[in-house]
Amino acid sequence: MNLEDIKKLAELARIEMTEEEMTEIAKSFGSILEYVGRVQEVNKMTEGGVKSKEDYFLHNIMREDTATNESGFYRDKILEEMPESENGYLKVKQIL
């Protein structure tokens, strides 16, 4: 893993980082990825027979799309937590 790869990841993760820190992260990724690479050994294991992806993938648990609380119940408290709000709306920088 080199500095350019880390720069791209930082861009994707939307975190501004110094070159110095990215260099250090690139270095630590070497030993971490080598360690987690052991997971490939699982392809030699057949405990309980080979399963399809559907058997072991995480799946979403769905519920009816209904209101779980009275409308506006948390409104004021949530507004209070916003770094910037105006007339009961969240205020953000212009997007378009």
Partner 1 sequence: MKIDLKNLTIEKAHDGLAKGEFTVRELVDTYLEVINEKNGEINAYLEIYNNIDEQVKIAQEMFKNETATILTGIPISVKDNILVEGQIASASSKILETHRAVYDSFVIEKLKKHGVVFLGRTNMDEFALGSSTQTSAFGITRNPLDRTRVPGGSSGGPAASVAGDMTLVALGTETCGSIRQPAAFCGLVGVKPTYGGVSRSGVIAMGSSLDQVGPLAKNVADAEILLNAISGYDPKDSTSIPDDKREIEKTFKKRIAIPREFLNGEGIDKEVLQNFEESCEKLRKAGYEVVDVSLEAIKLSLAVYYIIMPAEVSSNLARFDGIRYGNQVKGDNLLDVYKKSRANGFGKEARRRILLGTYILSHGYYDAYYNTALKARDIIRRELSNLFKDFDAFITPTVPFLPFKLGEKLDDPLSMYLCDIFSAPANLADIPSISIPSGIAQNGLPFSIQFTAPYLREDILFTIGKEFEKLV
Interface residues toward partner 1, by CB under 8 A = 1, 5-6, 9-10, 12-17, 21, 25, 28-29, 31-32, 35-43, 45, 47-48, 51, 53, 55-58, 60-61, 63, 68, 74, 77-78, 80-84, 90, 92-95
Contact 8, 29 (CB under 8 A): no
Shortest Å distance, C-beta 86 to partner 1 = 14
Minimum CB separation of residue 22 from partner 1 in Å reads 9
Nearest residue to 6 (alpha-carbon basis) of 17, 64, 74, 40 = 17
CA–CA dist 67, 84 (Å, integer): 26
Work out how close the CB of 65 gets to partner 1 at its nearest, in angstroms, rounded to a whole number: 13
| Nearer to partner 1 (CB atom), residue 19 or residue 32 | 32
Q: Cβ neighbours of residue 82 under 8 Å, at least 6 residues apart?
A: 90, 91
